[in-house]
């Protein structure tokens, strides 16, 4: 077997194999302070340790995003003190169908998953949802229905009669 050469880290040596110490004495050797040179000679360091420093944030971030707090059916039975529970007051938005329910409960929430709704009703309970998927919300304004137009005609007629 051949002998292996010991790896030496140059610790404890005066010049650490740099030659003259004069070359490594001043500020010109440092490459700048902080994030200077991150687009030039320190680019590999930035890519490795803080890649988010260069460039824009990636992806689309909606400004009006609402976090939906969910609860599973298995946890509802533990929270219910009577035969009725209002999850909106407890801070939950949606009920999901993981777990089992044995009591007949009336559950009020903003919305339910299909499985959660089936499980509550099969246990003899009742589902009261504020938002039902599939139903169309009519956002008609009074202007579209013609209510405003009729009111303005009546008002204009009254002022003419008085004159």
- pLDDT above 50: residue 141: no
Q: Which residues pair with 127 in a beta bridge?
A: 107
Q: How far apart are alpha carbons 20 and 159 in whole angstroms?
A: 102
Burial class (CB in 10 A: 0-12, 13-18, 19+), 105: buried
The pLDDT assigned to 4 comes to 83
Q: Which residues pair with 108 in a beta bridge?
A: 86, 128
Q: How far apart are alpha carbons 128 and 6 in whole angstroms?
A: 76
The pLDDT assigned to 133 comes to 59
Q: How far apart are alpha carbons 64 and 124 in whole angstroms?
A: 38
The pLDDT assigned to 61 comes to 80
Mean pLDDT of the chain: 79
The pLDDT assigned to 137 comes to 47
The DSSP letter of residue 69 is: P
Q: pTM score, two decimals?
A: 0.46
Average pLDDT over residues 154-163: 52
The structure tokens 């559950």 sit at 107
Are 76 and 100 contacting, i.e. CB atoms less than 8 angstroms apart? no
- The DSSP element (H or E) to which 152 belongs, if any, is helix 147-162
Q: What domains are defined for the chain?
A: 70-129 (3.100.10.10)
What's the pLDDT band for 8 if we cut at 50, 70, 90?
confident
């Amino acid at each position: 077997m051949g002998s292996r050469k010991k790896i030496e880290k140059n610790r404890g040596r005066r010049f650490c194999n740099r030659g003259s110490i004069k070359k490594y004495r001043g500020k010109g050797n440092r490459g700048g302070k902080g994030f200077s040179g991150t687009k030039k000679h320190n680019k590999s360091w930035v890519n490795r340790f803080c890649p988010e420093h260069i460039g824009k944030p990636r992806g689309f971030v909606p400004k009006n995003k609402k976090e939906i707090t969910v609860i599973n059916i298995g946890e509802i039975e533990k929270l219910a003190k009577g035969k009725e529970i209002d999850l909106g007051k407890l801070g939950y938005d949606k009920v999901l169908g993981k777990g089992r329910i044995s009591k007949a409960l009336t559950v009020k929430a903003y919305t339910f998953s299909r499985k959660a709704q089936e499980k509550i009703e099969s246990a003899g309970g009742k589902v009261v949802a504020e938002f039902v998927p599939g139903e169309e919300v009519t956002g008609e304004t009074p202007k579209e229905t013609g209510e405003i137009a009729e009111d303005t005609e009546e008002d204009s007629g009254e002022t003419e009669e008085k004159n």
